[in-house]
Amino acid sequence: MKYIIEGYREKGSTRKKLLTFGLTPNTIIEVIRKAPLGDPLEVKVRGYSLTIRQAELDILILQPMCSSCSTKICS
């Protein structure tokens, strides 16, 4: 499923790390797969794959995107 990053729930070193990875506001992120126990997750962002923990993903404020299009946000 695809999402748009709207912002962050907290500030600090984890937020700074996610920004370094390219997880900036208004960026599209796609969850590719989850580990068998649900953590970590593989996501696609800016054309590359990134593996992050669920706790790090929970810091992001995400808006789901429509599955039928790649530009419109679901309401």
> pLDDT of 21-73, one tens digit each?
999 999 999 999 999 888 899 999 999 999 999 999 999 999 998 776 655 55
**pLDDT value of position 68:** 67
**pLDDT value of position 66:** 79
Question: Dihedral of CA 13/24/9/58: which sign?
Answer: negative
Q: Which domain holds residue 52?
A: 2-64
Close Cβ partners of 9 (under 8 Å, ≥ 6 residues apart): 58, 59, 60, 61
Domain presence at residue 73: no
Question: Dihedral of CA 20/5/61/42: which sign?
Answer: negative
pTM of the full structure: 0.80
Domain presence at residue 33: yes
Look-up: residue for tokens 């912002």?
7
Q: What is the DSSP string of 38-51?
A: S-SEEEEETTEEEE
CATH code of the domain in which 24 resides:
2.30.30.90
